[in-house]
Amino acid sequence: MFPIWIHTKEEVKRLLILGAGGFGHMIQETARLLGYEEVVFLDDAVKGADVIGKCCDYKAFLNEYDTAVAALGDSGMRLYWTEKLMEAGYQVPAIIHPSAVVSPSAVIGNGSFIMQSAIVNTNTVVEHGVLVNSGAVVDHDSRVGCGAHIGLGSVVKANCVIPSRKKVEEGEVIFSTRRKIDGVTSRNLEDALYAFGFGLQCSYVKPFGEGHINETYAVYMPTEEGDEFAYILQRVNNNVFKDPAGVMENIFGVTEYLRNVIREEGGDPDRETLSCIKTKNGCTYFEDNEGQPWRCYNYISNSVCYQLVEDPEQFYQSGNSFGHFLKQLGNYPASSLKETIPDFHNTVKRFENLEKALKRDIKNRAITCRPEIAFALDRKQDCKVLVEQQENGTLPLRVTHNDTKLNNILFDAETGKGLCIIDLDTIMPGLAANDFGDSIRFGAATAEEDERDLDKMHFDISLYELYVKGYLEATKDVLTPEEVESLPWGARLMTFECGIRFLTDYLEGDTYFKTAYPEHNLVRARTQFRLVDEMEQQFAKMQEIVREYA
């Protein structure tokens, strides 16, 4: 590997040029503008007063002319003789015409020529023996390989790689060069990586997380210590989220607001809320060729996420975290949020959707789930409890997360405390009881929501009590008495609502939730209905616990 020569204004008096043709005389003229007092040639064919020998004589003139360049139009010959001169011990400077514009951060290699009115932009590397001809532009963060020729008036756009000895023709435009990234399995994923500016540096990507709805990837970037998990890149399911611009507007608005709140609390906004990243052209998301939106976040290091409660303390922490989240957003104008999934927790309308799916039965699946259908139909009247209180103003609308599962909290890996609320797609106006209830239906269960063996699925009221304690410690100064009383109903109805959503999706052919096998959504519905049944049996105790900690 040859050393890189960085152009300076230091004056050099004498210059030896290999090649006395038209290009050589252009370089002679430029050299004199740069302050070289004596400029002579070596050439195998041209004769003249300033031609002092043939190219093969170059070693003989080293003591007399210690600085030399190879001004040869042919890329192969220019590169060959540039390297010969360097090997012989000559100083081989870059020659940059005074009218050229070269960024201070650009690196120009030995024996390269930047001609009249050419532009070499920020962080570009031009290797040795390159010709960037008059009027050519090499934009930022590009690399031009040794011996290449960037033709008259041509444009090499940002983030390009020009191979060694490559000729970019006069007036040609070269677009960004793509490189292979390990783990990239589709053009859409590749396009998203480049849209957010990771394409040229990214080490590799791999699938990440266990969500039902979106397609998520971990993005690893190189560091001095090795590859580091740096970003989360996610393709949003626009069959579910039909207004991606509204989703991202909500997320950016809330997270930017939270940064100020966290800073005022003395916390770390880079760890205690999501940091959203815009695309290189300033958009909140990137839309791929199939019309699917992609968004990106910074990864929060030294954090962990749990799919199930592994230690009761985790559930207490989750209650405290979601309660604190609601309190932090207490002054955020809920009315400014887009309702990205209309009637998301309108249990009455969710039940209407179930009735419609049952009536249509487009997959002939109703016959396979008669007990589950009967369980749901028996509880139709329960669906009104919270909806009516919201409609008559008894329960106020707040900024709510609307998907408050345990696995939507990042915990600090060292302290075990709740750190950051994630997965903000459904941040919308809603009821505190809905957020509370969704946490209970997920975290106070003794098995995962797709457990086939119902004997393993139970409602753990001791975990419920821990969550109540943590949640009310954070919110009891915020919630109204009516909201506190609504919390047990939130647990019961959010679990029921989730069950009827799984059952509806099963009847409709699995169009919403990701499934791994044909009965997956039915299995999920059964687990939720088991929890509802046990909550109903212990409902008085659930109410008593809430009143105790209020």
Residue 451 sits in a domain of what CATH number?
Answer: 3.90.1200.10
Kindly compute the dihedral angle of the four CA atoms of residues 207, 208, 213, 215, in this order, to the nearest 10 degrees: -30
Which amino acid is residue 321, in one-letter code? S
Both 121 and 42 in a single domain?
Answer: yes
pLDDT of residue 348: 97
Both 465 and 361 in a single domain?
Answer: yes
- Tens-digit pLDDT profile for residues 513-532: 889 999 999 999 999 999 99
| pLDDT of 349 strictly over 90 | yes
Average pLDDT in the 482-489 region?
98
**Which residues face 526 on adjacent strands?**
none
Instruction: Give domain status of residue 182, yes or no.
Output: no
Is there a contact between 142 and 114 (Cβ–Cβ < 8 Å)? no
Q: What is the CB neighbour count within 10 angstroms for residue 471?
A: 29
Alpha carbon distances (Å) from 37 to 11, 13, 502: 10, 5, 85
Last residue of a domain, one of 142, 177, 212: 177
Instruction: Give domain status of residue 290, yes or no.
Output: no
Instruction: Give domain status of residue 299, yes or no.
Output: no
Lowest mean pLDDT among 8-12, 16-20, 151-155, 194-198: 8-12
- Tens-digit pLDDT profile for residues 430-445: 999 999 999 999 899 9
Both 235 and 363 in a single domain?
Answer: no
Both 235 and 380 in a single domain?
Answer: no
Based on the structure, what is the number of domains in the chain?
Answer: 3
pLDDT confidence band for 372 (50 / 70 / 90): very high
105: tokens are 């951060």
Q: Which residue has the tokens 């590009």?
A: 142
Last residue of a domain, one of 147, 177, 207: 177
Both 268 and 371 in a single domain?
Answer: no
Instruction: Give domain status of residue 289, yes or no.
Output: no
CA distance 52 to 16: 9
pLDDT of residue 243: 87
Dmax (CA) of the chain = 109
pLDDT of residue 211: 62
| pLDDT of 467 strictly over 50 | yes
Average pLDDT in the 2-22 region?
70
| pLDDT of 214 strictly over 50 | yes
Is there a contact between 421 and 273 (Cβ–Cβ < 8 Å)? yes
- Tens-digit pLDDT profile for residues 280-321: 889 999 999 888 999 999 999 999 988 877 888 889 999 999
Last residue of a domain, one of 125, 153, 177: 177
Is there a contact between 233 and 208 (Cβ–Cβ < 8 Å)? no
For the chain, the residue count is 550
Both 141 and 205 in a single domain?
Answer: no
Is there a contact between 86 and 128 (Cβ–Cβ < 8 Å)? yes
Instruction: Give domain status of residue 284, yes or no.
Output: no
Alpha carbon distances (Å) from 404 to 85, 184, 441, 496: 69, 31, 10, 15
Backbone angles phi, psi at 32, to 5 degrees: -65, -35
Look at phi and psi of residue 317 and say left if phi exceeds 0, alpha if psi is from -120 to 50, else beta: alpha
Is there a contact between 423 and 341 (Cβ–Cβ < 8 Å)? no
Both 212 and 261 in a single domain?
Answer: yes
CA distance 276 to 298: 7
Side-chain-side CA neighbours of residue 385 (13 Å): 21
Instruction: Give domain status of residue 297, yes or no.
Output: no
Instruction: Give domain status of residue 288, yes or no.
Output: no
The mean pLDDT of the chain is: 93
CA distance 448 to 358: 26
Both 344 and 493 in a single domain?
Answer: yes
| pLDDT of 3 strictly over 50 | no
CA distance 414 to 394: 42
Backbone angles phi, psi at 299, to 5 degrees: -75, 135
Side-chain-side CA neighbours of residue 63 (13 Å): 1
H or E element at residue 40: strand 38-42
Which amino acid is residue 322, in one-letter code? F
Both 323 and 222 in a single domain?
Answer: no
- Tens-digit pLDDT profile for residues 373-429: 999 999 999 999 999 999 999 999 999 999 998 889 999 999 989 999 999 999 999
Sign of CA dihedral 277, 282, 285, 290: negative
| pLDDT of 1 strictly over 60 | no
Residue 109 structural domain: 1-177
| pLDDT of 132 strictly over 80 | yes
Both 229 and 330 in a single domain?
Answer: no
Average pLDDT in the 455-475 region?
96
CA distance 526 to 454: 8
- Which residue in 321, 386, 323, 318 sits closest to 351, CA to CA? 386
The pTM (predicted TM-score) of the whole model is 0.68
Q: How close are the terminal C-alpha atoms of the chain, in Å?
A: 72
SS3 for 282-338, per residue? CCCCEECCCCCEEEEEECCCCEECCCCCCCHHHHHHHHHHHHHHHHHCCCCCHHHCC
Q: Which residue has the tokens 């090997």?
A: 87
pLDDT of residue 241: 79
CA distance 185 to 214: 16
Instruction: Give domain status of residue 373, yes or no.
Output: yes
pLDDT of residue 300: 94
| pLDDT of 259 strictly over 80 | yes
pLDDT confidence band for 8 (50 / 70 / 90): very low
Q: Which residue has the tokens 């393709």?
A: 235
pLDDT confidence band for 5 (50 / 70 / 90): very low
Is there a contact between 300 and 271 (Cβ–Cβ < 8 Å)? yes
CATH number at residue 47: 3.40.50.20
Both 248 and 350 in a single domain?
Answer: no
- Tens-digit pLDDT profile for residues 225-234: 899 999 999 9
What is the DSSP pairing of strand 119-120 with strand 137-138?
Answer: parallel
Lowest mean pLDDT among 175-179, 204-208, 464-468, 495-499: 175-179
**Which residues face 102 on adjacent strands?**
120
Sign of CA dihedral 351, 355, 361, 365: positive
Average pLDDT in the 10-30 region?
89
The b/e string for 149-162 (b: 16+ C-beta within 10 A; e otherwise) is: bbbbbbbbbbbbbb
- Which residue in 503, 282, 257, 481 sits closest to 389, CA to CA? 481
Give counts: helices (H), strands (E), the chain. 14, 29
CA distance 501 to 350: 7
Both 231 and 367 in a single domain?
Answer: no
pLDDT of residue 342: 87
